């Protein structure tokens, strides 16, 4: 078995996909940034 056939027979395990909705990922990332910023301000860490 060569490296090419071994790579071709691998099963996907739910990792990151290249064809996912990029806009949703972008919005969720910025939402996380805003939530962390609000938490930092509420706790008085800034």
Q: What would the pLDDT profile of 1-46 be if each residue is shown by its tens digit?
A: 565 665 566 676 766 666 667 888 899 999 999 999 999 999 998 7
pLDDT digits (tens, 9 = 90+) for 22-31: 888 899 999 9
Q: Where are the domains of the chain?
A: 21-46
DSSP per-residue letters across 12-23: P-S---TTS-HH
Residue 22, SS3 per DSSP = helix
Give 19's DSSP letter: T
In this predicted structure, what is the pLDDT of residue 32?
Answer: 98
How far is the C-alpha of 34 from the C-alpha of 42, rounded, in Å?
12
pTM to 2 decimal places? 0.53
- Residue among 14, 35, 32, 36 at smallest CA distance from 24: 32
pLDDT of residue 16: 65
């Amino acid at each position: 078995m060569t490296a090419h056939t071994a790579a071709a027979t691998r099963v996907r395990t739910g990792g990151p996909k290249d064809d996912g909705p990029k806009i949703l990922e972008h919005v969720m990332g910025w939402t996380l940034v805003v939530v962390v910023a609000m938490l930092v301000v509420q706790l008085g860490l800034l």
